[in-house]
Amino acid sequence: MSKSLDLKRGWLCCLRTEQVLLAGVLLAFSTTSAPQAVAANGAKTDSTAIRAQLIGSWRLVSRQSRRADGEVERDPGLSTIPLGILIYDPSGHVAAQLSRRDRTVAEIGEECQIAATTKGTGDTAQTILGYDAYFGTYKIDERAGTVTHHLEAAIFPGDIGKDIERHFTITGDRLTISFNTTTREGVKVTRTLIWERLK
């Protein structure tokens, strides 16, 4: 009787050991099978997690252009703190709109007359009459920490078909986008836009 009991105990012990080993193997696979990427802040993260964080609607909090020496460059087109919305959808489409806050017919009458002579730059969309808007598709490079917007339509026709690359980081409900560009006056600046997730 005791031999039978000892055999049963030994078998149960082996069974439990195998279950523990199997659980360990499953745990190892579950933690290593997802593709890893390096976010802009250097932290490792699931490559699909970055895209999931970017998807949504964002409200512009601030927009600033700085010269290489750190001096802030004034933007006569969109003013200091423009209104703005940026939308990334799950199917890979993007839409962006920025508007100067004091945008009235009386305020921009002169711009209406000279809009046709305004020249854009190769790395950003053109502001017309205190307004900048475009839509298209986007592509994320997780390792580089960049998102590229392909413009299918834009307020300035010369921007249609353009690809514009942006560096980005996401912290909680805050999205920071930055890129190098040149102002209308030919000044090289780094432009930083901070967005807040709309809920």
Question: Contact, 127 vs 78, CB < 8 A?
Answer: yes
Window from 71-75, 160-164, 175-179 with minimum mean pLDDT = 71-75
Buried b vs exposed e over 134-163: b needs ≥16 C-beta within 10 Å? bbbebebebeebbbbbbbeebbbeebeebe
Average pLDDT over residues 122-144: 87
Mean pLDDT on 144-153: 97
* Mean pLDDT, range 146-163, rounded to an integer: 95
pLDDT of residue 101: 86
Q: What is the pLDDT of residues 9-58, one digit of tens each?
A: 443 343 343 443 333 333 333 333 333 333 444 444 556 899 999 999 99
pLDDT at site 108: 62
Q: Which residues neighbour 126 within 8 Å (Cβ) at sequence distance 6 or greater?
A: 118, 120, 132, 154, 155, 156, 158, 159
- Measured at the CA of 136, the angle between CA 108 and CA 139, to 5 degrees, comes to 125
What is the residue-averaged pLDDT of the chain?
77
Amino acid letter for position 185? E
- pLDDT confidence of residue 27: 33
Q: What is the mean pLDDT of residues 138-145?
A: 95
